[in-house]
Chains A and B, each alone.
Chain A
Amino acid sequence: EPEVTQTPSHQVTQMGQEVILRCVPISNHLYFYWYRQILGQKVEFLVSFYNNEISEKSEIFDDQFSVERPDGSNFTLKIRSTKLEDSAMYFCASSEVRSSYEQYFGPGTRLTVT
């Protein structure tokens, strides 16, 4: 069964460093998303991406964040200068069509900023 994959599973970085989180969505999906979950809190929407453009972004997704689909398979989330409060689980998701809302999530990357 097709699945969303994410690498790395755990990333430890120092405050102020740049990190890139990688995702490989399901191959025939066209819509891509990033969510995050801070420990003990809700899963929060960050950004949606379609046709090489951001479709929507949340207030969390400020200038420190960017997304890219550098080739036909990968979808990345970059945090330019990490802060302690960026420590969270980051989930990538994809969907075949936007209107269905049936998004399939990857296993997540645990980001720890020290």
Chain B
Amino acid sequence: DQQVKQNSPSLSVQEGRISILNCDYTNSMFDYFLWYKKYPAEGPTFLISISSIKDKNEDGRFTVFLNKSAKHLSLHIVPSQPGDSAVYFCAAGSGNTGKLIFGQGTTLQVKP
């Protein structure tokens, strides 16, 4: 199932700089997109979401951008902190089913 793809398996950034995580999707019926953060031995933690009727949503250091024409979304973390080091998953849903389709994840390392 390749409907949601995160093409970068890993990303390394310096503390204080911007982290940009990317996600592409193929299903134009998706109407809701989410980002989750996951630490080892824990479940995914909800970070931020965006509806398809918007192109930007911001929550503190986290901003999600949605480009529907390109079927692309991104998560910006500014400024990045060492505690942000984790695996980040994008996920997408459609209709009213509650079913989420996840990407493969990107491992973010923020260096002090």
For chain B, the bracket of interface size reads: 20 to 34
Interface string of B21-46 (1 = CB under 8 A from A): 00000000000101010000111111
Stretch from B56-64, B68-76, B77-85, B100-108 contacting the other chain: B100-108
Q: Are B100 and A101 in contact (CB under 8 A)?
A: yes
Q: Are A102 and B46 in contact (CB under 8 A)?
A: yes
Known: A33-B98, A98-B98, A101-B93. A91 touches B44 (CB 8 A): yes
Instruction: List the B side residues contacting A35 at CB < 8 Å.
Output: 100
Residue of A nearest to B32 (CB): A101
Instruction: List the A side residues contacting B34 at CB < 8 Å.
Output: 101-102
Main secondary structure on B side of the interface with A: loop
Q: Are A31 and B41 in contact (CB under 8 A)?
A: no
Instruction: List the A side residues contacting B93 at CB < 8 Å.
Output: 101
Q: Are A56 and B43 in contact (CB under 8 A)?
A: no
Give the size of the chain A interface in residues (CB under 8 angstroms): 28
Known: A107-B41, A108-B42. A98 touches B97 (CB 8 A): yes
Q: Are B97 and A91 in contact (CB under 8 A)?
A: no
Q: Are B43 and A91 in contact (CB under 8 A)?
A: yes
Is B49 in contact with chain A by the CB < 8 A criterion?
A: yes
Is B88 in contact with chain A by the CB < 8 A criterion?
A: no
Stretch from A41-49, A68-76, A78-86 contacting the other chain: A41-49
Known: A42-B1, A48-B97, A98-B97. 9 other contacts (CB 8 A): A41-B104, A43-B89, A45-B101, A55-B97, A56-B98, A95-B98, A101-B100, A105-B45, A107-B42
